[in-house]
Amino acid sequence: MPDAAARRLRPLLLWTALAGLAAALSLGPILSGFSGGPVDQAFLLYSALPRSVVALLAGAALGLSGALLQQALDNPLAEPSTLGVFAGAQLALGLTAAFAPELGSLGREGAAFLGGAAAAALVLALGWRRKLDPVTVVLCGMVVAMVASSLTAALILARGDYLFALLIWGGGALTQEGWRPSVAIGVVLLLGALASAALARPLAVLVAGEASARSLGAPAPAIRIAALGVGVLLATTVAAEIGLIAFVGLAAPTLARLGGARGARQVLAAAPAIGAVLLWLADGLARQIGSGEAIPTGAATAVIGAPLLLWLLPRLRLADRPAAAKPSPRRNTARVLAVMAGVALAALAAGLMVGRDPSGWTLVSGAAFTELLPFRAPRTLAAASAGAMLAAAGVILQRLTGNPLAGPEVLGVGAGAGVGLAVVYLTGAGVSLSLQTAGSALGALAALVILLGVSGRTLGPERMLLAGAGISALCLAGLNAVIATGSLSAFALLAWMSGATDAVGPREAMAACAAAVALIAPLGLTLRWLETLQLGAVTARALGLRVRAASAALAGLASLLTAAAALIAGPLSFVGLVAPHLAHASGLTRAGPHLAGAVLVGAALTAIADLLARTLIAPYQLPLGLFASLLGGVYLMVLLRRR
Amino acid sequence: MSRRGLLIGAAAFGVTGAGAARALSPAPRVAAVDWAMLETTLALGVVPVAATELILFRKAAVEPPVPGQVADLGLRGSISYERLLAARPDLILISPWYEARRGALSRIAPVESYAIYGRTEPPYDASVRATARLGARLGRPDAAAQAIARAEEALDAARAALAHLRGRQVLVMNLGDSRHFRAFGADSLFGDMIGRLGLKPAWAAPTRFGAYPTVGVEALAAMPEAIVVNVGPTPPSALAGVRDSPLWRALPPIAEGRFVSLPPVNPYGALPAAQRFARLLTDSLSGVA
pLDDT 10s digits, A383-401: 999 999 999 999 998 888 7
Q: How far apart are CA A574 and CA A557, in angstroms?
A: 18
Q: How far apart are CA B19 and CA A639, in angstroms?
A: 67
Q: How far apart are CA B256 and CA B167, in angstroms?
A: 18
Q: How far apart are CA A359 and CA A172, in angstroms?
A: 43
Contacting B residues, span 15-74, partner chain A, CB-CB under 8 Å: 53, 56, 59-60, 71-74
User: What's the mean pLDDT in B255-260?
Assistant: 88
B85 with A176: Cβ contact below 8 A: no
* Ranges A38-52, A312-326, A419-433, B147-161: which has the least confidence: A312-326
| pLDDT confidence tier of residue B12, bands split at 50, 70 and 90 | very low
Chain A contact set for B208 (CB, 8 A): 487-488
User: What's the mean pLDDT in A429-450?
Assistant: 77
Helices then strands, counting H and E runs in chain B, come out as 12, 11
User: What's the mean pLDDT in A177-194?
Assistant: 90
Q: Which amino acid is at A219?
A: P
pLDDT of A211 reads: 52
B247 with A178: Cβ contact below 8 A: yes
Q: Would the pLDDT of A46 be above 70? A: yes
Report CA dihedral (A86, A88, A90, A92) to the nearest 10 degrees: -150
The interaxial angle of helices B271-285 and B141-161, nearest 10 deg, is: 20
Q: Are A243 and A172 in contact (CB under 8 A)?
A: yes
Q: How far apart are CA A165 and CA A173, in angstroms?
A: 11
Prediction pTM value: 0.81
User: What's the mean pLDDT in B188-213?
Assistant: 80
Largest Cα separation within chain B, whole Å, is 64
Cβ atoms < 10 Å from Cβ of A100: 13
Residue in B75, B180, B251 nearest the CB of A157: B75
Asked if B174 has any chain A CB less than 8 Å from its own CB, the reply is yes
pLDDT 10s digits, A228-268: 899 999 999 998 888 878 778 888 988 888 888 888 888 89
Residue in B78, B100, B213 nearest the CB of A485: B213
Q: Which of A62-66, A71-75, A502-506 is predicted most confidently? A: A62-66
Looking at chain A, the whole-number percentage of residues with pLDDT higher than 70 is 79
A35/A152: higher pLDDT: A152
pLDDT 10s digits, A79-106: 888 788 888 988 898 888 777 767 766 7
Q: How far apart are CA A253 and CA A99, in angstroms?
A: 37
Q: Would the pLDDT of A282 be above 90? A: no
Residue in B53, B216, B233 nearest the CB of A292: B216
How remote is the C-alpha of B250 from its chain's centroid? 32
Contacting A residues, span 537-566, partner chain B, CB-CB under 8 Å: none
User: What's the mean pLDDT in A174-185?
Assistant: 83
Domains of chain B by residue range: 3-157, 163-285
Chain A contact set for B81 (CB, 8 A): 375, 502
Chain B contact set for A505 (CB, 8 A): 103-104
Among the four given CATH numbers 3.20.20.150, 3.50.50.60, 1.10.10.1590, 1.10.3470.10, the one describing domain A395-642: 1.10.3470.10
pLDDT of B66 reads: 95
Burial of A581 from C-beta contacts in 10 A (0-12 / 13-18 / 19+)? buried
Compute the nearest-CA separation of A372 from chain B (Å): 7
Contacting B residues, span 114-153, partner chain A, CB-CB under 8 Å: none
Burial track A129-152 (b if 16+ CB lie within 10 A, e otherwise): ebebbbbbbbbbbbbbbbbbbbbb
pLDDT of B171 reads: 92
Cβ atoms < 10 Å from Cβ of A200: 21
B142/A30: higher pLDDT: B142
User: What's the mean pLDDT in A410-437?
Assistant: 76
Which residue, among A30, A99, A164, A359, would best test binding to B if mutated, counting the most B CBs under 10 Å from its CB? A164
Q: Which of A9-13, A430-434, A583-587, B67-71 is predicted most confidently? A: B67-71
Q: How far apart are CA B123 and CA B227, in angstroms?
A: 22
Give the length of chain B: 289
A374 with B107: Cβ contact below 8 A: yes
Residue of chain B nearest A617, judged by CA positions: B74
Among the four given CATH numbers 3.40.50.300, 3.40.50.1980, 3.40.720.10, 2.40.160.20, the one describing domain B163-285: 3.40.50.1980
User: In the 8-state DSSP scheme, what is residue A407?
Assistant: -
Compute the nearest-CA separation of A565 from chain B (Å): 19
Compute the nearest-CA separation of A234 from chain B (Å): 22
Strand partners, A354: A363
Asked if B217 has any chain A CB less than 8 Å from its own CB, the reply is yes
Q: Would the pLDDT of A165 be above 70? A: no
Q: Which of A130-134, A186-190, A209-213 is predicted most confidently? A: A186-190
Asked if A100 has any chain B CB less than 8 Å from its own CB, the reply is no
Nearest alpha-carbon partner for A477 in A203, A191, A250, A162: A250
Q: Locate all alpha helices (DSSP H) within B122-255, ordered by sequence.
A: 123-137, 141-161, 189-196, 236-243, 246-250, 252-255
B251 with A505: Cβ contact below 8 A: no
Tell me where in chain A the CATH 1.10.3470.10 domain(s) lie: 2-32+43-315, 395-642
Residue of chain A nearest B175, judged by CA positions: A165
pLDDT 10s digits, A475-508: 777 777 677 666 666 767 777 776 666 677 788 8
Nearest alpha-carbon partner for A240 in B261, B218, B241: B241
B78 with A495: Cβ contact below 8 A: yes
- Fold identical between B3-157 and B163-285? yes
Asked if B266 has any chain A CB less than 8 Å from its own CB, the reply is no
User: What's the mean pLDDT in B30-34?
Assistant: 95
* Ranges A135-144, B52-61, B193-202: which has the least confidence: A135-144
pLDDT of B260 reads: 92
Q: How far is CA A18 from CA A12, A245, A273, A285, A418, in A?
A: 10, 19, 12, 12, 32
| pLDDT confidence tier of residue A327, bands split at 50, 70 and 90 | low
Q: How far apart are CA A483 and CA A422, in angstroms?
A: 10
Q: Are A447 and A474 in contact (CB under 8 A)?
A: no
Q: Which CATH architecture best describes the domain B3-157?
A: 3-Layer(aba) Sandwich (3.40)
Compute the nearest-CA separation of A99 from chain B (Å): 11
User: What's the mean pLDDT in A296-320?
Assistant: 66
pLDDT of B10 reads: 47
Residue in B59, B74, B101 nearest the CB of A620: B74
Residue in B80, B240, B250 nearest the CB of A42: B250
Q: Which helix (H) or strand (E) holds B262?
A: strand B259-264
Residue in A38, A46, A168 nearest the CB of B177: A168
pLDDT of B25 reads: 67
Q: How far is CA B129 from CA A4, B64, B112, B279, in A?
A: 79, 19, 14, 21
Q: How far apart are CA A564 and CA A567, in angstroms?
A: 6
Q: Is the ipTM of this complex over 0.85?
A: no
pLDDT 10s digits, A105-123: 677 788 888 999 899 888 8
Compute the nearest-CA separation of A266 from chain B (Å): 37
Q: How far apart are CA B41 and CA A107, in angstroms?
A: 42
pLDDT of B17 reads: 43
pLDDT of A643 reads: 52
pLDDT of B104 reads: 86
Q: Which helix (H) or strand (E) holds B8?
A: helix B3-19
Residues 6+ apart with CB under 8 A from B202: B169, B170, B171, B223, B226
A486 with B248: Cβ contact below 8 A: no
Asked if A105 has any chain B CB less than 8 Å from its own CB, the reply is yes
B179 with A177: Cβ contact below 8 A: yes
Residues 6+ apart with CB under 8 A from A459: A401, A402, A403, A452
Burial track A13-26 (b if 16+ CB lie within 10 A, e otherwise): eebeeebeebeebb
Domain over A2-32+43-315 is classified CATH 3.40.50.300: no
- Is the dihedral angle over the CA atoms B25, B30, B36, B41 positive or is it negative? positive
